[in-house]
Chains A and B, each alone.
Chain A
């Protein structure tokens, strides 16, 4: 019935689809030494004791393998991120009032700030986007991706996940070095030119981070700023999700402007939930949320951008002062403003 298990020998499978090796090992299949057999033949002669001991269900295994190979093929084709657009159509506020916009259109390379009081419905908006709501969430919004509603299988597909998320509370938890970590992520993404990509991410992360780090630093020992920098560089370059959701970027230890530039240069859509005026003004637009719905959409004006310049200067001054404080200097402030 199926060519992967009846026509291919195990060794042909491994050559054609190298990821099958991990799959066999993860399922505790003792295939070594039996590579000349097809999987069907292999299972036919497999010792029932081993089947019981390793909790193997040959039938389920074969089905899973076929699904897995098909799934992994999708990763191969969708490796290169393409241009993406999101269109949001109105739903209702908590009190049942219709949202007062016609539609909001966002495309690759744009940065959108999402502002509003806590509990106002920011998370629901982000969830509507992540789920590609189709008038089937509590807000009744509809979200189209590239001009159309997603099919159910696209919504659930892990290989097409729309949104990657970065937030203040996220930490590295794996016990490995920066290099091992990048290698693991790149391997799981099946990228072709692994070495180059790892080097690129490492360099970018170091440009974003206030203090440099080396490839053999354990990821759990990176400082807050260094971790954030590595997470951003890694997500920008290795994650296939076209939309990046950011929940604030703290102002310490990372160049926020460069971080956003990197994300948009990789054609990501950046959605930023923030209360920080500098971050908000770095966006192209602000979506204002209140009472469970979208209240208004504000385009950053020329005037606002001028203020941004001043704010950034202020911010720099503050950073310098912090630095002086940290290194035991006396604080001096030049009155330029």
Chain B
């Protein structure tokens, strides 16, 4: 092992670590606001990557039908809920928009020359297609049981994950996909050349973390989310809607995960079921942060990435073992040092 090898491994580790960090932050965000461990998060990484690849192949992915199906289900659920509450059927402008959105988008996708579009438009279309699924999933599966115990939320979360993986196979097929990189150029840094995609990943991750920090510190919506995370009942008493907080956190998490998928798609081959293992590593990061601390979670996730890169070099057969064993000392340390608080049920 010399400096050059260490630097290449470091670059590899930081690239993966940056993605894990983004996912760790998303998991943490959703968990603190809604108490849901968002296991289907990984699926959005895969959806983002595969949708991008489908666009570059000039095809509109079948995902648009899932979006449309969910939109119809959401509309039905909203109407039923309104009917149960007030005995009248009302359909607001926002609801009409939500129902019409996937159909308009789908129509546009089938008409546009997808493969010829500039990459930035493809990325935007990918986000426009995948991200609304997050709030829809919250509305359909988690909003009705928002006050259920954490364990039940976890079980539902696993169920949604399993269903989404099956649907992903149906929509995208079993073969993997890889997209073209954002740019071909590289950056010379001492003995190694930094891959341009690596720079993109790191830049976008750091950028997103800064934007998120500003959002939570400065904006009213960010503060509302933070308030819900700190004390759910208190926030509700202050007029913050838990439904809004839930949808907003799912929206943000899905956005980050989809963007992660778009970012790593040029680096590696993504299959319909690749997302889970990636988000699992982000999960280790958020566990290191004790499912409360954002900076520690991000650092922990980068640590996972680095550990993965170096253990792949030294003992490739045991790489996964080493990475996932990391969780045990941290759980021990956490359970020995942190004072236990009984959860308010």
- Same complex: no
